[in-house]
Structure 1
Amino acid sequence: MTDRPTSGPDAGAAGAPQVEQDTVAALAAREQERDDAVEQLFHSHRAGLVRLASLLGAESDAEDVVAEAYWQLYRSWNKLRSPDAALSYLRGVIVNLVRMRTRRLIVSRRHVEWAPPEVDSAENEAMLRDDQRAVVAALRKLPARQREALVLRYWGSLKEAEIAEAMGISAGAVKSHVSRGMAALTTELGASE
């Protein structure tokens, strides 16, 4: 019986189990790293992301939107350029999910007689003071892109580049949406006084 080399190009099947074990260990370590990172993001940013989704227009199902965003982050973790991009990715997913939700609601409302509820959820009402309610009501009257840009800028405290990434538009378009949105918001709030 001939001795087979245990390493090198002639190792054959003898080296395969060790390579397979190393690969499995590396995959398990990467999955644990992903699990830990997503859990940390969840605990530190969930409340702010729920508020973001609510302000963007998903008042009644903001929690569901954020849960879906975290699920998409979890599934796409290995595609991120770096773990530092995860929060930006979450914001972008939330913006897109709220847009899709809004489109679905618009289509369904065209085909069904529907009146919006006159009473907001108890959680939203409890969180807002009167002046904040006026701002939120005025925000809801703005076009979606202007509302998104203002919410990300002033409530999310994001920079123009981060807003552009989250909304999928250029930084110049962000400036335009913020400027137009502020003008419309000022006009709306001035008219309501």
Structure 2
Amino acid sequence: MQYSIPAAHPWWSRLLSRMPRTEDRPVRGRHLRALDTPYDDEPPPTLTELYRARRLDMVRLALFLVDDLPTAEDVVQDAFAAVCRTYGTSLDGLQDPGAYLRTAVVNAARSVLRRRRTSRAYTQPHQGYGPPVDEGLLLAEEHRQVLDALAQLTQRQREVLVLRYWSELSEAQIAQTLGLARGTVKSTASRALDILEKKLGAGR
């Protein structure tokens, strides 16, 4: 059976797409390129430049995966540390820093979720911590019900939908990021969409 990820966005995916994003910030007289755009004709950004331009977007991505803002910030820090350990601060030899960083964030989020399951010490999110200065940029109240519904999906389902409808990746890019076959991405997305639409309603 063939599945395809719907092109038309349901109401909840439009909520995700309206979440504010950071602009590519100019550094050294140039702009960082869009994610998944290799630097074939010039050196890639340094780790500092990548951090300044992509950190908030990566925190938002991690937030959708772990549903806990302080943990999401830790996940992104761990991902940048992993990039630094592998490629150093100059990122020499890294052709597509944005794609590599996104994969590192997904992997770090998976590690957090594994530790939660192992320790069985998971507490409900967004309780007992003071909001950071930039929380208003990261999470609007209208997204809460979407995050709650996403949290009830399996880890793979949540990853596929977040990468498709918030990061706006193609099936091929999702497959590369998650290490899956494209057919698995399609079937996972189709099942996850059915579950999410039942939880959230067909529309608003």
Shift of 1:157: 1.2
TM norm structure 1 = 0.69
Paired with 1:150 and 1:48, the residues of 2 have a C-alpha distance of 16
Does residue 144 in structure 1 map to residue 144 in structure 2?
A: no
Shift of 1:77: 1.7
Structure with higher helix content: 1
Q: Percent identity?
A: 38
User: Number of matched residues?
Assistant: 155
Residue 45 of structure 1: aligned partner: 54
Residue 165 of structure 2: aligned partner: 154
Structure index of larger Rg: 1
Question: Match for 2:198 among 181, 187, 191?
Answer: 187
Shift of 1:166: 1.4
Change (3 A) 1:51 1:190: same
Shift of 1:68: 1.0
Is this contact kept in 2: 1:88–1:165, CA < 8 A? no
Worse-matched range after superposition: 162-171 or 119-128: 119-128
Dislocated runs of 4+, deviation >6 Å? none
Paired with 1:186 and 1:62, the residues of 2 have a C-alpha distance of 25
For CA contacts below 8 A with separation 6 or more, give which structure has more relative contact order. 2
Paired with 1:96 and 1:65, the residues of 2 have a C-alpha distance of 9
What's the Cα RMSD here? 2.9
Is this contact kept in 2: 1:58–1:98, CA < 8 A? no
Residue 140 of structure 2: aligned partner: 128
Q: Look up the equivalent residue of 2:58 and give its one-letter code.
A: L
Does residue 66 in structure 1 map to residue 76 in structure 2?
A: yes
Paired with 2:188 and 2:60, the residues of 1 have a C-alpha distance of 20
Shift of 1:117: 5.3
Shift of 1:119: 3.5
C-alpha deviations, 1:29-78, integer Å up to 9, x for none?
Answer: xxxx77x5212211111100000011011513111111111111112127
